[in-house]
Amino acid sequence: MTAIASSEYPTAATRPAYSLLNSQKLSHTFGITLPHWQKTLELVLTSHCSIP
């Protein structure tokens, strides 16, 4: 395998160079607030990985 930038990978759709998930509509419509990604990653790693 050789590492490449995502801009070098051919795709049918044009992708923005920098984008974020905006969850404001989810929050306003349903009252759901997504946790910060780092907290979720921590939960996944501690529940699925054996960390000494």
The residue behind tokens 């946790």 is: 35
Q: Which residue has the higher pLDDT, 22 or 18?
A: 22
Q: What is the pTM of this model?
A: 0.44
pLDDT the model gives residue 24: 93
CA dist 5 to 18, 30, 46, Å?
13, 37, 30
Share above pLDDT 70 across residues of the chain, in percent, rounded to a whole number: 94
7: DSSP letter: G
8: pLDDT confidence band, cut at 50, 70 and 90? confident
